[in-house]
Amino acid sequence: APDGRADQGPGPTTALLSLRVDPVHPQSLSSLPVRCLVEVLDAVSLEPIVSAVDVDLSSGQSQRVTILNVTPGLRVVRAHFYDATNTLVAEDQVSAELVVGRVVEVTLSPLSLPTPVVPPREFVLVTDSANVYSFQVNLDTGALTPAPGSPLFYNTDFPNNIAISADGRFAYIDLGGSGQVAQLAIDDQTGALTEVSRANSSGPQGSGIAIAGSFLVVPIFSSQMVDVFAINPTTGGLTLQGTFPAGVTETQRIYAHPNGQFLYLAESATGSDPGNIVCFQLSSTGVLTLTEIEQAFPDPPGRTYDFQASPDGTVLYVTGNDPSVNAFDISSSDGSLTPKAGFPVLTPAPFFLGGLAVDPVRQLLLVVGFDADSVFAYPINSDNTLGALAATLGTPSTPFNLALDPSGDNLFVTGYTSPGTITSYHRQNNGPLMSAGTLSLTNMGSSSAFAVAVVRFTN
């Protein structure tokens, strides 16, 4: 009831609730409320005690409303404020103890709606010889579902490695067949991919690409050079910043240290080339400086393949055409490498190892056994040496690369078969990783699956 009803008073066995409803509040709202729906609820069951009251706030003035004959007890008074389009713009809630024969006064004001809890979304990107795929991840089971529009077909452009921007909005794909880098936008709700632009590099790439701070670094296989692109922080677009000597004849993958200043380039060992690691420093202006060239394995030649830094960033783990994992201490001053005591560590793989991943939650190093059809899990000790083999995860034939999500509960492994495969593994309640299924990549022109990357959105 509007003003003037309150003087009737409560009944002999009921209470009277007097409301003041304010149309504005110091907090900024997306739009001003013009009406308010008021509910009076039982504080325990949250069931309605009386019919909801609709209050007109279109005048912009505070309104007084009286609700008669309310059953006594602890009550919750809840207000829902709506704008002219009938959109909920604010809420308020007050608890009140209603007593027989008394008038209880309550003031309700439109408070900004709390930020809704948005469930995380996770997507996996995979390349093969002609396509870029995107998959939605079921975070309860680890199962994969193709994202809308997946895959993007690149024909003979030969998509290679994948680099994900720090905010997850963009993926960068080096196109070995065309000598370009494709910038793809990632839809944060569906995982759908849209090509935004392409940047020309100075030649066809090998199989590497990395983001270091605000720069994208791309080795050029044919010219023994490395391109550095500046990344536009708003659009994600690429601008060639400079081209620098690689220091070796055949470039492969490149890895950016988490500090964004040190980079490590793998050399493909052929003939007398030993399969070196080239160490670089990257300045804040995008200048790449070669600091040293380090032999990757004690018994060359051995093609260097993948790198991962230890959880504390002080050690670099290395794999390649060798059944052992090697490691180096990283100089904090310039990123140069010193062979680490206790390495190489021999794995059960007969000949070759593939990708690496670090689980910082469980302090594990995950190693792909390319010709063992397995992923090996090694505990990382406090001094960053490796403990005894803790687990072996069976995979489909010839696993190649892997990606671990930030929680460590979902692992994704590519298969270097024809057609290629992507296998997901899921961990329930901190238990062991278990297979959640394998998908074959059978789009037009597809063959062996190559790179894999995972991106998670939490807001």
Q: What is the pLDDT of residues 255-283, one digit of tens each?
A: 999 999 999 999 876 555 667 999 999 99
pLDDT at 207: 64
Where are the domains positioned within the chain? 6-112, 121-457
Average pLDDT (344-348) is 96
- Distance (Å, whole) CA 122 – CA 410: 10
Query: Is residue 221 very low, low, confident or very high in pLDDT (cuts 50, 70, 90)?
Result: confident
pLDDT at 444: 74
Average pLDDT (343-354) is 95
Task: Compute, in degrees rounded to 10, the torsion defined by CA atoms 355, 358, 364, 369.
Answer: 0
Return the structure tokens found at 284: 């804040």
Percentage of the chain surpassing pLDDT 90?
Answer: 68
Q: Is the pLDDT of residue 309 over 90?
A: yes
**Burial annotation 307-340 (CB, 10 A radius, 16+ → b, else e):** bbbbbeeebbbbbbbbbbbbbbbbeeeebbbeeb
| Averaged confidence pLDDT in the chain | 90
Average pLDDT (343-359) is 95
Question: Dihedral of CA 321/327/332/334: which sign?
Answer: negative
pLDDT at 272: 57
Q: Is the pLDDT of residue 2 over 50?
A: no
pLDDT at 119: 87
Q: Average the pLDDT over each of 20-29, 37-46, 220-229 and give the range with the smallest value.
A: 20-29
* Residue 66 β-bridge partners: 18
Verify cis geometry, omega within 30 degrees of 0, for the bond prior to 399. Answer: no
pLDDT at 3: 38
Q: Is the pLDDT of residue 146 over 50?
A: yes
Exposed, middle or buried, 399 (CB in 10 Å: 0-12/13-18/19+)? buried
Query: Is residue 304 very low, low, confident or very high in pLDDT (cuts 50, 70, 90)?
Result: confident
Look at the pTM and tell me if it is higher than 0.75: yes
Average pLDDT (26-50) is 85
pLDDT at 303: 78
Q: β-pairing, 170-175 with 159-164?
A: antiparallel
* Residue 50 β-bridge partners: none
For the domain 121-457, what is the CATH code?
Answer: 2.130.10.10
Q: Is the pLDDT of residue 337 over 60?
A: yes
Query: Is residue 342 very low, low, confident or very high in pLDDT (cuts 50, 70, 90)?
Result: very high
Q: Do domains 6-112 and 121-457 have the same CATH topology?
A: no
pLDDT at 224: 86
CATH 2.60.200.30, domain 6-112, yes or no: no
Phi first, then psi: give them for residue 374, nearest 5 degrees.
Answer: -150, 160
Average pLDDT (144-165) is 94
Residue 76 near residue 93, CB atoms below 8 Å: yes
> For residue 18, what is the enclosing H or E element?
strand 15-21
CB count, 10 Å around CB of 430?
9
pLDDT at 223: 79
pLDDT at 246: 92
Return the structure tokens found at 335: 């990123």
Task: Compute, in degrees rounded to 10, the torsion defined by CA atoms 12, 14, 15, 18.
Answer: -100
Residue 206 near residue 250, CB atoms below 8 Å: yes
Return the structure tokens found at 296: 């990757």
Average pLDDT (369-384) is 97
Verify cis geometry, omega within 30 degrees of 0, for the bond prior to 151. Answer: yes
Highest mean pLDDT among 75-89, 112-126, 140-154, 206-220 belongs to 140-154
Average pLDDT (236-250) is 92
Residue 416 near residue 424, CB atoms below 8 Å: no
First to last CA, the chain: 42
pLDDT at 100: 83
Q: What is the pLDDT of residues 88-132, one digit of tens each?
A: 988 999 998 888 878 889 998 888 776 666 789 999 999 998 999
